[in-house]
Amino acid sequence: MSLPHAILTALLEKPSSGLELTRRFDRSIGYFWSATHQQIYRELGKLERAGFIRALPSEQPARGQKKEFEVLPAGRAELTGWASGEQESKPIRDALLLRLRAAAVVGRTGLDEELRRHLGLHRRQLAEYEEIEGRDFGAAAEPADRLRRLVLRAGIGLETFWVAWLEEALAEVEEMAAGEDPAGTADADAGGRPGE
Amino acid sequence: MSLPHAILTALLEKPSSGLELTRRFDRSIGYFWSATHQQIYRELGKLERAGFIRALPSEQPARGQKKEFEVLPAGRAELTGWASGEQESKPIRDALLLRLRAAAVVGRTGLDEELRRHLGLHRRQLAEYEEIEGRDFGAAAEPADRLRRLVLRAGIGLETFWVAWLEEALAEVEEMAAGEDPAGTADADAGGRPGE
DNA sequence: GACAGCATGTAACATGTTACATGATTCA
DNA sequence: TGAATCATGTAACATGTTACATGCTGTC
């Protein structure tokens, strides 16, 4: 139940059309909550029917015509309630970690290239976040900007972690390849299973 | 498309029934790929129909009777292909960050308590991971265990990050409360919007 | 008027969540 | 025999993904 609240937040920051929202979900908000345009249009319809948002009156009701939405008081109240309550964070769900665990059982063919590729991606993302921080956030500003900067710093911290972990993982995998299994393709045994 | 592969990995590590899998998805594998028993049973059905796994022959086909599964060669091949190919990691999706961003617009009522609560949860999770590392992984072992340890170290790194970030966020939010907005409940304005 | 690009959608399907249903086993 | 627990499932719905459909606007 977070996409509607992401949309309400974005619309409070600035009334927008579906496509404008889609673009903002590719940057900004999208850095920690992504959504496709199909999801956004579907959700805009629901929010409108629920009375949380309304289309800005601009006479065109037709398909292919731009349609801007703004948040109504009920929508702001809904968002306030959601933001101030309790909510558990979901456990980690990461396919790369899963694949590492699979590689422990079926062999680590191609693993080092994949780790290197991800390392490159995360380094690029980290650089992008750091550029945004340098460009948009200078000295301590008003509360709203300080909160947005905290969010950005979470992104920076996470990417920093991934870069460090991937470097560690790559070193470990290369050391394993240099060691007892020159081909690096043999299946590992299934005995022991610590970590259960 | 990761749950079937998570199940194949788990079954290769050890043939299991649906309920046993469910339990392992609450520890171990579940630390980076969670699943409920309903998902697991549904997926076991699909994997069986696809010829990737089979029920161990033990005569009982009835409801309420334990049913153990093992991976067939086709299943192992499927997993090997999935683990050795390319695959993008999904962008971050974190509701707490989204709520921080919402708080920048609708006010930060209750935010500090929520941050403290999450800090406690992440500290506990970190301690659990560290205990597992100390208990199950000693000196460098065989390749399979070294890979599993790498996965665990990702969990440790992520929790370490969250603890550090939450401490930073809490300090910042408390400083904001001590500053220009004693009540801490007023709405922030919507002007500026850096980070777009 | 043809085409590119903008803008809004529909449809079908996969995955994840929540609530509930049913049968087997054990033990008081 | 009745309650607790183990074990396997169904149903309904919410959310996310992929592919496609339709109408508008500007420009060559």
**Which of A37-51, B50-64, B67-81, B124-138 shows the lowest mean pLDDT across its residues?**
B50-64
* Residue pair B2/B33 in contact by the 8 Å Cβ criterion: yes
* Residue pair B132/B105 in contact by the 8 Å Cβ criterion: no
Looking at the structure, tell me whether residues B141 and B74 fall in a common domain: no
Min Cα–Cα distance to chain B from A95, Å: 7
User: CA-to-CA distance for A40 and A93, rounded, in angstroms?
Assistant: 23
Structural domains in chain A (count): 2
Asked if residue A184 is part of any domain, the answer here is: no
User: CA-to-CA distance for B47 and B8, rounded, in angstroms?
Assistant: 9
User: CA-to-CA distance for B2 and A189, rounded, in angstroms?
Assistant: 22
Min Cα–Cα distance to chain B from A90, Å: 8
A-chain CB neighbours of B108 within 8 Å are: 143, 147
3-state secondary structure of B53: strand
Q: Supply angle C-alpha B141, B22, B56, rounded to 5.
A: 85
3-state secondary structure of A165: helix
User: CA-to-CA distance for A141 and A128, rounded, in angstroms?
Assistant: 21
Looking at the structure, tell me whether residues A115 and A161 fall in a common domain: yes
Looking at the structure, tell me whether residues B121 and B70 fall in a common domain: no
Asked if residue A85 is part of any domain, the answer here is: no
The 10s digit of each residue's pLDDT in A138-177 is 776 788 999 999 999 999 999 999 999 999 999 999 999 8
Looking at the structure, tell me whether residues A105 and A53 fall in a common domain: no
Looking at the structure, tell me whether residues A170 and A111 fall in a common domain: yes
Asked if residue A123 is part of any domain, the answer here is: yes
The 10s digit of each residue's pLDDT in B116-152 is 999 999 999 999 999 999 998 887 678 899 999 999 9
Asked if B146 is an interface residue toward chain A (Cβ–Cβ < 8 A), one would say yes
Q: Quote the strand ranges of A50-125, DSSP E.
A: 53-55, 68-71
User: CA-to-CA distance for B130 and A61, rounded, in angstroms?
Assistant: 58
Phi, psi of A187 (to 5 degrees): -70, 145
Q: What's at B104, amino acid-wise?
A: A
Considering only residues 75-94 of chain B, list those whose CB is below 7 Å from strand D: 90, 93
Min Cα–Cα distance to chain B from A64, Å: 26
Could you tell me the two tokens for A154? 């979470």
pLDDT in tens, chain A (196 residues): 799 999 999 999 999 999 999 999 999 999 999 999 999 999 999 999 999 999 987 655 556 678 899 999 999 999 999 999 999 989 999 999 999 999 999 999 999 999 999 999 999 999 999 999 999 887 767 889 999 999 999 999 999 999 999 999 999 999 998 876 555 455 554 444 444 4
What are the distances in angstroms from CA A140 to CA A146, B164, B194? Answer: 7, 20, 13
Looking at the structure, tell me whether residues B50 and B112 fall in a common domain: no
Asked if A23 is an interface residue toward chain B (Cβ–Cβ < 8 A), one would say no
Q: Quote the strand ranges of B43-99, DSSP E.
A: 53-55, 68-71
Q: On chain D, which bases lie within 7 A of the protein's CB atoms? A: 6-12, 14-19, 22-25
Asked if residue B70 is part of any domain, the answer here is: yes
Chain centroid, CA B65 distance in Å: 30
> CA A16 – C1' C8 distance (Å)?
14
Looking at the structure, tell me whether residues B125 and B173 fall in a common domain: yes
Range of the domain at A145: 95-179
Give the other-Cβ count within 10 Å of A1's Cβ: 7
Give the other-Cβ count within 10 Å of B107's Cβ: 21
Looking at the structure, tell me whether residues A71 and A6 fall in a common domain: yes
Looking at the structure, tell me whether residues A100 and A126 fall in a common domain: yes
Q: What's at A84, amino acid-wise?
A: S
CATH of the domain at B71: 1.10.10.10
Looking at the structure, tell me whether residues B76 and B120 fall in a common domain: no
Asked if residue A172 is part of any domain, the answer here is: yes
Asked if residue A27 is part of any domain, the answer here is: yes
Residue B86: closest C-alpha in chain A: A114
Asked if residue A72 is part of any domain, the answer here is: yes
Q: Do B28 and A114 touch (CB under 8 A)?
A: no
Looking at the structure, tell me whether residues B39 and B100 fall in a common domain: no
Query: What b/e readout covers A118-147, taking b as 16+ CB neighbours within 10 angstroms?
Result: bbebbbebbeebeebbeebbeeeeebbbbb
Asked if residue A6 is part of any domain, the answer here is: yes
* Residue pair B137/B149 in contact by the 8 Å Cβ criterion: yes
* Residue pair B75/B103 in contact by the 8 Å Cβ criterion: no
Looking at the structure, tell me whether residues B35 and B101 fall in a common domain: no
Q: Is the CB of B18 under 7 A from strand D?
A: yes
